[in-house]
Amino acid sequence: MPTTEQAAQRRLLTESTRYNTGRCLVLCLLSLAGTGAGLLLPLAIGRALDAVLAGNDATGWVLWCAALVGLMAALDAGEEVLSATTAARTTLWLRGRLVRHVLAVGPRATARFPAGDLVARLVGNAAQAGTAPAVLAGLFAAVAAPVGAVVALGLIDFWLAAVFLGGAPVLVLLLRAFTRASSDCVAQYQTIQGDIAGRLTEAIGGARTIAAAHTERKEAARVLAPLPELARQGVRMWHVQARSQAQAVALAPLLQIGVVAMACYLILQHRLSVGELLAAIRYAALATGVGVLVGQLGGLVRAKASAGRLAEVQEIPATRHGDARLPAGKGALELRGVTARRGGRTVLDGVDLTVPGGRTVAVVGRSGAGKSLLAALAGRLADPDQGTVLLDGVPLGNLTRAELRRHIGYAFERPALLGATIEDTIGFGEPRPTRDSVRRAADAACADGFVRSLPEGYATTCTAAPLSGGEAQRLGLARAFARGGRLMILDDALSSLDTVTEHRVAEALLRTGPSRTRLIVAHRAATAARADAVAWLEGGRIRAFDAHERLWQLPDYRGAFEQQEDGDGDGAEEGEGGE
């Protein structure tokens, strides 16, 4: 009974083959035609030899031999070109499909797989899995060659085929053992590759921290720690293939000798000609030529293992959206009994929170309290394990994707500057805001001044704009301002701003009017003080919901800000702090 992972793997391989149905059929025809020509060649050579020995004209048979050799060369060239283009086409299709799925899944994809491992799957494993349709077509022809050779032996004389078939089961067992052993070591090899890629991506992302801490050697050792096991699995793969080849090579001559001995006996009985003896020897070699089969099976094993790693990503369910639209309202946000777990730990436990429409609420708490996770749930960048999140009385899961994103804007601590130019990155999203809206949003986020000072202003490419952390944050804030909507969520999006700029941005945020609700993850007391109310998270629950001035009288509340000022926030712990 196949497991869920195996079923997903087979489904992906089947779909990729169906995507290339026409090409696979042509590949099979080319392979079979080449195999057929290869099977006819020994017969033509044998007939030519018989004609020469009998003193007859062998020109016709020689021409047939030449034609078959030329046909085999042409078919082999066509097969090589079509196999390569089919693999490239399938790889493109797999990568496009997986990239779309990963983006549809959203942050949950990187929560399950490290970013480097995901890249390894979408690049290396997709390329390997993309060879599956061509390998399957080649495997079909590789099986047809020995089967056809056995049939040809039977047509020459039944006993020739019988001798060969007596040892054929041993060959089948050898190939089966090779496939099983290869599957295990190939899967482990690819898993270790993904692990190394994930560690390397983490190290590159933390390059400044590593340099500042002078831990380059230690980090290099951590990244490369799985390398010995990778080498061991790689050597094991070669050993498996070499052992299978050696076993097949040891058995093949015995079968060939058996067939030749029987052919010699039949010649003595005047049941075979010399030409048929030559053909029988060649057919015996074709029938025992398992080297091609081992190569094709090895390619199929690698493709299947890669498809399995892609299927693991594909099996993460994409976010489902409903067909509801929001009624008239001011963006009232409500969390009812929301529980969310991360890594087996309950981060939020039965949280109830109501944010009236048009109000500003700051979410504060110690590092790891779940602030960023609550912000992600409020805008449906994540779904709760239990409970419901509503916007103006409508569960977020019931809204269409367009309705959800049109009415909820986000700003992050470390915004991704997506888009070709600065104007593109501020206007990033659908529907795209107008140019005037982009300029007004940049002004509200205190970004207009430094953007205009860039070499080409708003047309400056993001790669050509050396931005500080605060400037990047202001562009992220401008993007949120430009989106409009009923709910704006700021996930520690003011942390890199200086005090004056933060004050100006906060004033602009509060001026957005009573038709927009603002939820701000705050690490600074000054930010919380500007909010209408504060939701104080502690132990996975809302400990208090009150004005900052009243909460400030509590030592534990003040202690939460002291910890945040000494630390780096809770984004890294919760996995939701950046974008």
Provide the pLDDT for residue 245.
65
Is it the case that residue 399 has pLDDT exceeding 90?
yes
Name beta bridge partners: 546.
534
What's the rounded Cα separation, in Å, for the pair 410 and 416? 12
Q: Which residue has the higher pLDDT, 389 or 51?
A: 389
Sheet containing 541-546: give its strands across.
Answer: 408-412, 487-491, 517-521, 360-365, 533-538, 541-546
**Two tokens at 301?**
């094993």
Buried b (16+ CB within 10 A) or exposed e, 144-154: bbbebbbebbb
Q: Which residue has the higher pLDDT, 172 or 321?
A: 321
What's the rounded Cα separation, in Å, for the pair 357 and 196? 47
Provide the pLDDT for residue 250.
63
Residue 110: count other Cβ atoms within 10 Å of its Cβ: 14
Q: Which residue has the higher pLDDT, 421 or 238?
A: 421
Provide the pLDDT for residue 74.
92
Mean per-residue pLDDT for 299-323? Answer: 87
Domain ranges for the chain, please list them. Answer: 4-314, 333-413+485-573
Provide the pLDDT for residue 571.
40
Provide the pLDDT for residue 247.
64
Ranking 124-138, 173-187, 384-398, 409-423 by mean pLDDT, the lowest is 173-187
Question: Percent of the chain scored above 90 by pLDDT?
Answer: 18
Containing 423, the helix (H) or strand (E) segment is helix 422-426
Provide the pLDDT for residue 512.
60
What's the rounded Cα separation, in Å, for the pair 470 and 477? 10
Query: Confidence band (pLDDT; 50, 70, 90) for 570?
Result: very low
Mean per-residue pLDDT for 134-141? Answer: 81
Is it the case that residue 4 has pLDDT exceeding 90?
no
- For domain 333-413+485-573, the CATH superfamily is P-loop containing nucleotide triphosphate hydrolases (3.40.50.300)
3-state helix, strand, coil in the chain (%, to 5): 65, 10, 20
> Tens digit of pLDDT for each residue in 330-372?
889 999 999 998 878 899 999 999 999 989 999 999 888 889 8
Backbone angles phi, psi at 186, to 5 degrees: -65, -45
Side-chain-facing half-sphere of 307: CA atoms under 13 Å: 26
Provide the pLDDT for residue 545.
93
Is it the case that residue 251 has pLDDT exceeding 70?
no
Is it the case that residue 207 has pLDDT exceeding 80?
yes
How far is CA 28 from its chain centroid? Answer: 29
Mention the CATH class of domain 4-314: mainly alpha
Residue 329: count other Cβ atoms within 10 Å of its Cβ: 16
Q: Which residue has the tokens 């983490």?
A: 202
What's the rounded Cα separation, in Å, for the pair 391 and 378? 9
Is it the case that residue 219 has pLDDT exceeding 80?
yes
What's the whole-model pTM score? 0.75
Provide the pLDDT for residue 579.
57
Ranking 78-92, 181-195, 388-402 by mean pLDDT, the lowest is 181-195
